[in-house]
Structure 1
Amino acid sequence: MSGSQQATESDRYAGRRVKRVEDARLLTGRGTFVDDVVRPGMLHVNFVRSPVARARITGIDISEALALDGVHAVLTAADINPHVHEQWFSLEGRHAPDTPRPPLAEGEVRHVGDPVAMIIAQDRYIAEDAAELVIVDYDQLPPVVDYATAFDSSELVHEAYPGNLVGQIGGRPMADLAPTFDSAPHVVSETYHQQAYCAMPMETRGIVTEWSPSDGTMTIWTATQSPHEVRGFCARLLAIPEHSVRVVMRDTGGGFGQKVLPLREDMCMMIAATKVPAPLKWIEDRQEHLLAAGQARHEHGEARMAFDDDGRILAATIDHVQDAGAYPSPNPVGSGIAVGLIFPGPYRIPEGTFNSRFAFSNTSGRVAYRGPWQFESVARECLLDVAARQIGIDPVELRRKNMLRRDELPTANCNGMPYSDITPLETFEQALEILDYDAFRREQEQARAAGRYIGVGTCTYVEPTAGASALYGTEGATIRVEPSGKVNVYVAGGSCGNSLETTVIQLTADALGVDIADVSSIQGDTAVTPFGGGTGGSRSGPMTAGAVNQTATELRGRILALAAHLLGGVPVDEVEFTRGVASVKGSPEKQVTLAEIAETAYFKSGSLPAELSVGLEVSGRFRAQHLMLWANATHVCTCEVDIVTGEVKLLRYIVSEDCGPMINPNVVEGQIFGGTVQGIGGALYEELAYDDAGNPVTTTFMDYLLPTAAEVPTIELGHVETPSIGPGGYKGVGEGGAIGAPPAVINAVADALAPFGVRISRLPLTPSTIIDLLEEAAQRGAAGAAGAARTAVAG
């Protein structure tokens, strides 16, 4: 291997099932999470939260709470909110439209769980006791609970937003497509309603803030996906220089989008730290998490498709409405536009358009969650199954007629989204082959004859990953060869279960040509790591690959130049360098190790020619030249439905994924498994539900149900690898499982219940929901039979 060549396939670590370097620490209980952080003299915070969905605050009496032994301070909006300077997110940029986001409720509370005051006490127990002693006078107001009717409500969540409209965005007018729909042989429409549910990471939110008044610096330990976002946000919030803020993120027990951005309690902690002479810690408990950490997925939309006589799609539209809650972070319009833009999915659709509206409501604010645009796949894929039944064609055959083929790429969908490097038809066929679709259909016939109702459902989607947005379009890396010859790679971090430590080490070992055991990764500390966007938007693999490759290329050049000198002044292109050893091509006995090269670079620089660089540390920055990298997958689910109890039992679950070459198959598969289970939970179990007064009714795990190992079948995987135009050909994989699972499960249930005429339009599919659907179908059937009888009599 010449000095200018990268490692051969047999030498490469990328693509191999390298054991996660994090596991030794995490599985032996030696991880460091936010609650493990202890600072001298640290005080603890608890929030007083609104018990009502909407009310004017007419008075707050904190005297009894202040008198409680161990309470150091009780702060209200008057103490906190005036100290806000700027509060925009790097993710969106300074000039992006934003929504109200006061740290503490001021004048009016807008959802149950809205923070009204913060208690600072000796420990959390005292702080919780003190919260019970804070007396808040509320003048209750009618809440806007149902986002679907919020636009027509006379009540306003925020006075500055008439009609409770956060924003609206769309494509060409729906009326433009009326001629196509009017003349089409088949038109299918359905309005799908998706319930609110959320990320539910194992580790709730948490933050420690420590202000140093002597030099005006802030140190923050936090559970976050983006340490540099937190740093910049805090600097803007407090109007202090960025270098005065240090954010440390060690281990984070899951984020899934919810922990990308600082939320209101984080703002309170940053400001309050400047007002008390001690570090502050706040660890959210699970009930707080269910009350105030944010919601996602709550939306509905009317999806329509027109087909010709052969079942080919002529046009598709979606009229979409999304719940933003009271205080969304970020503004939902940005991610919500993707619902309409990607609604055509991986299908050949000549004409299409969309409209998306976003409504405020007196519920917990919307936050990002693994594939925030996921509703487009729910609406499209479920409608395709309805269309197949209406037209009288197998849903698999309907998809085959319309799915994009590899030889049609690159192309753009009818909304202008440019597709390239995707394989929807290939993943579709692979997943069906793994299942043996024809055999399942034969089994289904036999089962129905025996009184058992089994079904199969699919979902094929395309997903934008690693988008070049304001925060996400660039990533940095610093690589240092230490004097010992060991290698440290510094990246921004944000790893919270996605194995970023392991993949960065694999990539660095390959790019430099060193042994993986000699590489370590330093992440999550803004004092020493280069700026980066963190984890989100399925970007970690492609973007860190770009940053590492760009940085390592320059550093490898320095290593080879020094090695050539130490090997007797041979030409650089005669140097072979692999596994940390340099040798002369054709003369392997002439060798010099990386440790020897580093020793010379650092300690014997006087012996080197002037043209050679000394030191072995390089910083580089990768800039994405592409709008986005496209990944795709097909999910196939089979299930059995008990028509007496309404129970859904998943039988088999198959995912065929194309996320490009896999840096580490173990990591890729783990991401698919986790996302798929979350999607199954959203289809069958999870719901953040509210009553008519805006009271949340699922505030514990007795009410908010999650899938367990007992409910989830073994997930079978297939891989199709199509390189992207990005670094290494890699694509993102973090969000896909959560996108593809709900439609596949819904379609499987609908297929199982097809003999009864059940038509699914609302989630989740709990046992009681399924019994209701069966009863409604029976009533429709009885009404239809009665109508037919009346017609016969009249005839």
Structure 2
Amino acid sequence: MNGLNAAAARYAGTRVARVEDPRLLTGQGTYVDDVVRPGMLHACFVRSPLARARIVSVDAAEALAVEGVHAVFLAGDLNPDVREQWYTLIGRDVPDTPRPPLAGGEVEFVGDPVAMVVADDRYVAEDVAELVLVEYEPLPPVADYTAARESGELIHDGYPGNVAGEMASAPLDAAVFDEAPLVVRRTIHQQACSQVPIETRGLVAEWSAPAGELTIWAATQSPHEVRLFCSRLLGLPEHRVRVVMRDTGGGFGQKVVPQREDMCVMLAARKVPGPLKWIEDRRENLMSAGMSRHEHADARIAFDTDGTILAAAIDHVQDVGAYPVPWPVGTSAAVGMFFPGPYRVPKAAWSTTSVFSNTVGRTAYRGPWQFESVARELLLDAAARRLGMDPAALRRKNLLRRDELPYTNPNGMPYSDITPLETFEQALKMLDYEAFRREQEQARAEGRHLGVGTCTYVEPTTAAMALHATEGATIRIEPSGKVNVYVSGGSSGNSIETTVVQLTADALGVDIADVSTIQGDTAVTPFGGGAAGSRSGSMTAGAIAETASVLRERIVAIAAHRLEAAPDDIELAGGHARVRGVPEAGIPLAEIAAASYFQPETLPPGVPAGLEASGRYRPESPLIWANATHLCTCEVDVTTGRVRLLRYIVSEDCGPMINPNVVEGQIAGGVVQGIGGALYEHLAYDPEGNPIATTFMDYLLPTAAEIPDIEYGHIETPAPGPGGYKGVGEGGAIGAPPAVANAVADALSPFGAEITRLPLTPETVVALARGTDGR
């Protein structure tokens, strides 16, 4: 019996208020920095002030003499204790890149951790960190990844040309482009960005020597990944490591896997006389927690004279910094494989190169392959201008329709259950596209510059790889009839607590107020991949369906036995089991539960005692596809360079929505980050590798004043699997940068402006209006 469909849904698909909100909005959440343990010590890192240098000596004598200081750990103290350090998310056999806990012979970026000070409190630890004297011999930095392959300096031995890895498809015959009536080719650059979670990284590790157990409180998106990684790192059995994740204030990819500082805390926990806490400050976060998006590509699309796409190719290069986390080459390959997007592209080719630099390491960020949409969608608008076509008409000609599916793109990506043309048309209708074009024409006559831009993309969700391959759930109906559902967790703003409660209430036919969820504690929750890869909604839905079906069958059997009815005539609703068509013939779930625990002799033959079950879900398809169209309008002041967004529309197909509020919240969060990437954010470095955006005075974020109301349209195409649910966590950040950039380009089209570089700062916009490239 299907646990999600056996009873009419009461909660899934409705705007149920988030169950997390009462504690979070009243300040009752528990974050890592709220964790206080008896005898707790505090860690602070000594970080390199140079982008690249040889460590000549480290003198910690003065620091160790300060009262309250317990240890100053160097590379020689911690690095040799590493047993294994690979991520379950990726797998043991991936050709990973170097990742020492502390810098040893050389430092490779400003912020590279050289030593870790442990003291009685954070203030002492921070002050004492300045007393650790490190003598450096400066070395020439490789700060510009675009020049790293030609540099005579090597960041890591064993990586010629500073290349971390390369991948490529089979090349296309040159004639495909040489003979095409029109080829639009651009080199497009995207700047480095940071994830900027509201809660920075943090960890508390407590070692119990008598039990041989390590307990970790972590700000993480994946508590079970932290547990497995730590067990391998320290050579401990998994059951000797417990990870507790309560509330996590955002992650966006930065907190999926442990990084080097986390490794240091784990390794040091067995060497200090008390629990060890490390909390990152904002400057450290911007300097050392990772960057993303820093990349460029030579991208080209060939067209027939009527605008039909003939072929597409992209040669992509990305900056992976000094110590990328995790292995970055696979994600960069996705840029190439997804470059054709949701368009009818007969032929395609791609290559990608990941290059080290003496900057902070690359980390995952919402839609880490999103550059493929930036490059493709900017090229499509440029092609429309060359062809004298409206960009909407060009897309309409080439977008895949629902009736063409399934469809395999030329790079082997098998699309199904998506609606590219349909979402595109919905977004245009929501705007009233033709009316806007008339408004734009009138505005230009008045000397005002309005623009409209779109992006249509397809997004892989629920990737069934390694750590993500399955998801578990345990459901226990208490003797009172109340329900507890246990899932791995990873709730970092994705509302997984709410959606799990909704799905469980529907699956068992109980009131939502009678359902609670326990998440984030590896000692009691089933193994799961956490929040990454837009997987949480569909995977937990599957796990709940698998588990609830076992309990439903058991409940129905007990009720049928007691009511002397056929099992097929029993329905579960309102916390009761009733005979269909005979509403007065029913039993409360609490009565059934009490009997199952305390009166097993009354149960029908073959029904076990108790109402607790565990199940594990494996997706029916290795990838579930979501898609959307983003559309925005803007007004550009060509004198000041100000870009004011007027309307922002998203037409999304993420399948049936478990909770529309959650879906729209996920879209909005991604859109705001994408707008930031298009117009404001830049994790910039100077030519010597010094970071110049390590505070919010320099790293600009969009605020409520810059973001227009986001308008939502929904098309629901069920995916394979329980409920037909898809992921929705990353799409907003994919679609926003190209939509905004195309809107600005459209506004500036009378000036012949071509956008090939982000962000679109005021000075860039003014330069584009003056006919330069905006550099």
> TM-score if structure 1 supplies the norm length?
0.96
1:127 and 2:121 matched: no
1:41 and 2:36 matched: no
For 2:466, what is the secondary structure of its paired residue? coil
8 Å CA contact 2:4–2:506 kept in 1: the answer is: no
User: What one-letter code is carried by the residue in structure 2 that aligns with 1:12?
Assistant: R
Matched residue, 1:373 = 369
Decide whether aligned partners of structure 1 residues 42 and 663 sit closer, same or farther in structure 2, where only a CA change above 3 A counts: same
Match of 1:31 among 22, 29, 32: 29
Matched residue, 2:500 = 504
1:748 and 2:743 matched: yes
Decide whether aligned partners of structure 1 residues 704 and 779 sit closer, same or farther in structure 2, where only a CA change above 3 A counts: closer
C-alpha separation in 2, matches of 1:586 and 1:171: 61
Deviation of residue 609 (structure 1)?
4.1
C-alpha separation in 2, matches of 1:209 and 1:295: 26
- Higher mean C-alpha displacement, 584-593 vs 770-779: 770-779
Matched residue, 1:322 = 318
Matches of residues 446-485 of structure 1 in structure 2 within 5 Å?
446-485=442-481
- Structure 1, residues 347-388: CA drift from partner, whole Å, max 9, x if none? 101011100000000000000000000000000000000001
- Structure 1, residues 108-151: CA drift from partner, whole Å, max 9, x if none? 00000000000101111111110110000101100111111111
CA RMSD, Structure 1 to Structure 2 (Å): 1.4
Decide whether aligned partners of structure 1 residues 4 and 777 sit closer, same or farther in structure 2, where only a CA change above 3 A counts: closer
8 Å CA contact 1:686–1:764 kept in 2: the answer is: yes
Matched residue, 2:18 = 20
Deviation of residue 582 (structure 1)?
1.1
- Structure 1, residues 760-793: CA drift from partner, whole Å, max 9, x if none? 111110001112223344999xxxxxxxxxxxxx
8 Å CA contact 1:681–1:706 kept in 2: the answer is: yes
8 Å CA contact 2:399–2:421 kept in 1: the answer is: yes
Matches of residues 387-398 of structure 1 in structure 2 within 5 Å?
387-398=383-394
- Structure 1, residues 80-112: CA drift from partner, whole Å, max 9, x if none? 101000000000111111110000001000000
C-alpha separation in 1, matches of 2:431 and 2:96: 46
C-alpha separation in 1, matches of 2:262 and 2:173: 47
8 Å CA contact 2:111–2:284 kept in 1: the answer is: yes
C-alpha separation in 2, matches of 1:172 and 1:344: 15
For 2:719, what is the secondary structure of its paired residue? coil
For 2:467, what is the secondary structure of its paired residue? coil
Deviation of residue 71 (structure 1)?
1.0
Deviation of residue 162 (structure 1)?
0.8
Match of 2:64 among 62, 66, 76: 66
Matched residue, 1:261 = 257
For 1:471, what is the secondary structure of its paired residue? helix
C-alpha separation in 1, matches of 2:605 and 2:650: 57
Matched residue, 2:674 = 679
Identical amino acids, percent of aligned pairs: 69
C-alpha separation in 2, matches of 1:515 and 1:286: 42
Structure 1 residues not aligned, in runs of 5+: 781-795
Matched residue, 1:736 = 731
Matched residue, 1:713 = 708
- Structure 1, residues 494-540: CA drift from partner, whole Å, max 9, x if none? 00000000000011111111111111000000000000000000000
User: What one-letter code is carried by the residue in structure 2 that aligns with 1:367?
Assistant: T
Match of 1:558 among 546, 554, 559: 554
Matched residue, 2:607 = 612
Matched residue, 1:757 = 752
8 Å CA contact 2:168–2:351 kept in 1: the answer is: yes
Match of 1:147 among 145, 168, 171: 145
For 2:86, what is the secondary structure of its paired residue? coil
- Structure 1, residues 535-559: CA drift from partner, whole Å, max 9, x if none? 0000001100000000000111011
C-alpha separation in 2, matches of 1:585 and 1:722: 31
Matched residue, 1:621 = 616
- Structure 1, residues 254-288: CA drift from partner, whole Å, max 9, x if none? 01111000000000000100101100111100000
Deviation of residue 605 (structure 1)?
1.1
1:403 and 2:399 matched: yes
User: What one-letter code is carried by the residue in structure 1 that aligns with 2:238?
Assistant: E
User: What one-letter code is carried by the residue in structure 2 that aligns with 1:202?
Assistant: I
8 Å CA contact 1:99–1:328 kept in 2: the answer is: yes
Deviation of residue 571 (structure 1)?
2.1
- Structure 1, residues 688-730: CA drift from partner, whole Å, max 9, x if none? 0000100000000000000000000001110011111122111
Deviation of residue 392 (structure 1)?
1.0
Deviation of residue 221 (structure 1)?
0.3
How many residue pairs are counted as aligned between the two chains?
775
Deviation of residue 313 (structure 1)?
0.6
1:772 and 2:767 matched: yes
For 1:151, what is the secondary structure of its paired residue? coil
Decide whether aligned partners of structure 1 residues 393 and 593 sit closer, same or farther in structure 2, where only a CA change above 3 A counts: same
Match of 1:236 among 218, 226, 232: 232
8 Å CA contact 2:220–2:256 kept in 1: the answer is: yes
Matched residue, 1:211 = 207
C-alpha separation in 2, matches of 1:751 and 1:325: 34
C-alpha separation in 2, matches of 1:20 and 1:169: 43
C-alpha separation in 1, matches of 2:395 and 2:7: 40
Matched residue, 1:490 = 486
Deviation of residue 584 (structure 1)?
2.2
User: What one-letter code is carried by the residue in structure 2 that aligns with 1:75?
Assistant: F
Match of 1:114 among 109, 112, 115: 112
User: What one-letter code is carried by the residue in structure 2 that aligns with 1:681?
Assistant: G
User: What one-letter code is carried by the residue in structure 1 that aligns with 2:359?
Assistant: T
User: What one-letter code is carried by the residue in structure 1 that aligns with 2:212?
Assistant: G
C-alpha separation in 1, matches of 2:7 and 2:742: 44
User: What one-letter code is carried by the residue in structure 1 that aligns with 2:131?
Assistant: L
Match of 1:167 among 165, 168, 174: 165
1:689 and 2:687 matched: no
C-alpha separation in 1, matches of 2:418 and 2:196: 31
Structure 2 residues not aligned, in runs of 5+: none
User: What one-letter code is carried by the residue in structure 2 that aligns with 1:291?
Assistant: M
C-alpha separation in 1, matches of 2:17 and 2:195: 27
Match of 1:633 among 617, 625, 628: 628
User: What one-letter code is carried by the residue in structure 2 that aligns with 1:117?
Assistant: A
8 Å CA contact 1:543–1:727 kept in 2: the answer is: no
8 Å CA contact 1:474–1:624 kept in 2: the answer is: yes
8 Å CA contact 2:751–2:770 kept in 1: the answer is: no
Deviation of residue 627 (structure 1)?
1.6
C-alpha separation in 2, matches of 1:368 and 1:756: 37
8 Å CA contact 1:188–1:306 kept in 2: the answer is: yes
C-alpha separation in 2, matches of 1:719 and 1:406: 15
For 2:174, what is the secondary structure of its paired residue? helix
Deviation of residue 608 (structure 1)?
2.9
Deviation of residue 407 (structure 1)?
1.1
Deviation of residue 617 (structure 1)?
0.4
8 Å CA contact 2:509–2:574 kept in 1: the answer is: yes
8 Å CA contact 2:7–2:509 kept in 1: the answer is: no
8 Å CA contact 1:177–1:315 kept in 2: the answer is: no
C-alpha separation in 1, matches of 2:406 and 2:108: 47
8 Å CA contact 1:185–1:309 kept in 2: the answer is: yes
Match of 2:196 among 194, 200, 207: 200
Deviation of residue 646 (structure 1)?
0.6
For 1:695, what is the secondary structure of its paired residue? coil
Matched residue, 1:331 = 327
Decide whether aligned partners of structure 1 residues 380 and 548 sit closer, same or farther in structure 2, where only a CA change above 3 A counts: same
User: What one-letter code is carried by the residue in structure 2 that aligns with 1:311?
Assistant: G
- Structure 1, residues 712-762: CA drift from partner, whole Å, max 9, x if none? 000111001111112211100000000000000000000000111111111
C-alpha separation in 2, matches of 1:503 and 1:179: 52
Decide whether aligned partners of structure 1 residues 113 and 4 sit closer, same or farther in structure 2, where only a CA change above 3 A counts: closer
For 1:97, what is the secondary structure of its paired residue? coil
Deviation of residue 610 (structure 1)?
4.1
C-alpha separation in 2, matches of 1:531 and 1:385: 45
- Structure 1, residues 597-617: CA drift from partner, whole Å, max 9, x if none? 111011111333442211100
Matched residue, 1:791 = none
Matched residue, 1:574 = 569
